[in-house]
Structure 1
Amino acid sequence: MSIDLDIHEGVATITINRPERRNALDAEHYEALSKAWEEVRDNPAIRVAIVTGAGDKAFCAGADLKSWIGREQPLSEMWLTQQNQLLNRGLEVWKPVIAAINGVCVGGGTTLMLGTDLRVAVPEAKFGLSEVKRGIIAANGGTQRIMRQLPYAVAMEMLLLGDTMDAETALRWGFINRVVPREQLLGTAQEMAARIGENAPLAVQAAKELAVRSFEMSMAEGLRFEQFVNRILSHSKDTAAAREAFAEKRKPTFKGE
């Protein structure tokens, strides 16, 4: 079992490392993935995260059904809503997350991707929510986020037919940001992460939170929220550093303070 977490120069790379099972997730992997996301959320040294899969076949094939079918789950677990939270299941991570999609991304892999902010994929990548073919639904945000990220008819086709979408189609619908050759996948994600890391961390996290919460607020509430956040940020050390750097015609160094 392995969910690998590497932290380098402010970028955390999470790798689902189970290529022999197409990086499918059993209970133990979900628990380890939850801990990795908590580290991203809580470690001030991390400014951006990248999530990818091991090998060249799959990003993540979702839940490992063989390990879940027939598994006894006490009804009481329904009310353990804070247990083993994930990026796409309740955990609030305001640091930007980039998905480097190295292959098949279906079921829980797609719902994981739906919780990320930027997405780079190889040409061979495929996306799908085929849960209805197995008598269940796309959970962990599958039926919720998909409707906000794709046009209605396209999202419903994925949910109700359970068919897959190729990388070029996903790019055309704005489901992913870029399609790049496999050898450029991680490099492209790392370049994007580095560019984000050069910006003021508090402002980046605030921008992400405001954008995500905009789905839940009226325009008036969102505009007011922006005013309060900008007022707070204007008194930060990073804003002062940006002013000084502008006056001295140099790039600022931000510390997230």
Structure 2
Amino acid sequence: MSIDFAIEGNGVATITINRVEKLNALDDAHYRALSDAWIQVRDDHRIRCAVVTGAGQKSFCAGADLRTEVAKKPVQSDPWLAQGHPVLNRGLEIWKPVIAAVNGYCIGGGCTLLLATDLRVAAEHAQFGLAEVKHGLIAGYGGTQRIMRQLPHAIAMEMLLTGDRITADQALRWGLVNKVVPQSELLPTAYEYADRISRNAPLAVQATKELALRSRDLELADGLRMEQLFSQLLQSTEDVREGQSAFVERRPPRFRGR
């Protein structure tokens, strides 16, 4: 039982939610360990991209462990500890791309985690759902917010209000995931995405992600202005010069994130 963390030589980090006997549901200890993993992804300059998945073949993440987490008496000061043990779906800002490899149930908090990732690959047997209303709860950690921005209104409301699950094929049809593949191809497909991303200039990748996400809440003129400033900032980096040299010399670039 753990949150497994590994970094490959190409700068790709893998976070594996490893609580197979509980369908990778998260109790307090696992939430804290997952928070530590996300902070390392954010702060470790070796990491250029991250893949998050679940151990086994039955579940990506079944969300909060209802037997332990929901039964806890709420602490009235908790809502004001907005940055306590931050996780990706609760608003931790990570501008390195995050890819989800969904290997089964993606329910509740698992689905809200999915909604906070950038690219998503699902196994054919994956199922997705925000079942909180079936338990007297709401889809927190961004569930009620992100899904309305990522799916058509009627589809998002159906998932939120019925709590029913959708299949991998439905998720693909509505644009919730990028690809649906056989289980045996799940991680290779996710890592292929990660490898393609990690070959690119890391500062430019992070700037692109931040601009794309922040601009959703900006007027077009403000977004264009921010884009202009980011572009000017990147022009002074070593990676821009390396990219130009590699193009002229017809060789793969060796980006260093500087």
Do the structures match in fold with TM over 0.5?
yes
The equivalences for 1:183-198 within 5 A come to 183-198=184-199
2:193 aligned with 1:224, yes or no? no
1:70 CA displacement: 2.7
State the percentage of identical aligned residues: 60
Report the alpha carbon displacement of residue 176 of structure 1 after superposing the two structures with TM.
0.1
Correspondence 1:76 to 2:77: yes
Counterpart AA for 1:219:
L
Corresponding position of 2:257? 256
Q: Which amino acid aligns with 2:74?
A: Q
Count of aligned positions: 257
* Aligned residue number for residue 63 of structure 1: 64
Any idea what SS the aligned residue of 1:239 has? helix
- The structure 1 segments of at least 4 consecutive aligned residues displaced by more than 3 Å after TM superposition are none
SS at match of 1:105: strand
Write the distance in 2 (CA, Å) between the matches of 1:69 and 1:189: 32
* Cα distance in structure 1, aligned partners of 2:93 and 2:81: 17
State the one-letter code of the partner of 2:134: K
Partner AA of 1:4 in structure 2: D
Aligned equivalent of 1:146: 147
The 3-state SS of whatever aligns with 2:217 is: coil
Residue ranges of structure 2 left out of the alignment (5+ in a row):
none
Deviation at 1:72, TM superposition (A): 2.5
Q: Distance in 2 between matches of 1:138 and 1:191?
A: 31
d(CA) in 2 for partners of 1:219, 1:27: 41
Q: Does 1:200 align with 2:201?
A: yes
Which string of whole-angstrom CA distances, capped at 9 and with x for unpartnered residues, describes residues 159-208 of structure 1? 01111110001001110000011111111111110000000000000000
Partner of 1:4: 4
Determine helix, strand or coil for the equivalent of 2:67: helix
Letter in 1 for 2:191: Q
Name 2:234's counterpart in structure 1.
233
- SS of corresponding position for 1:50: strand
Deviation for aligned residue 1:73: 2.9
Q: Distance in 2 between matches of 1:23 and 1:225?
A: 40
Deviation at 1:89, TM superposition (A): 0.6
- Root mean square deviation of aligned Cα: 0.7
**Which consecutive unaligned segments of at least 5 residues does structure 1 have?**
none
Structure 1 residue 105: Cα displacement: 0.3
1:50 aligned partner, one-letter code = V
Deviation at 1:74, TM superposition (A): 1.8
Residues of 1 paired with 2:157 and 2:88: CA distance? 23
Aligned mates of 2:80, 2:228 — CA distance in 1? 36
**Residues in 2 aligned to 1:83 and 1:217: alpha-carbon distance in whole angstroms:** 27
1:192 aligned partner, one-letter code: Y
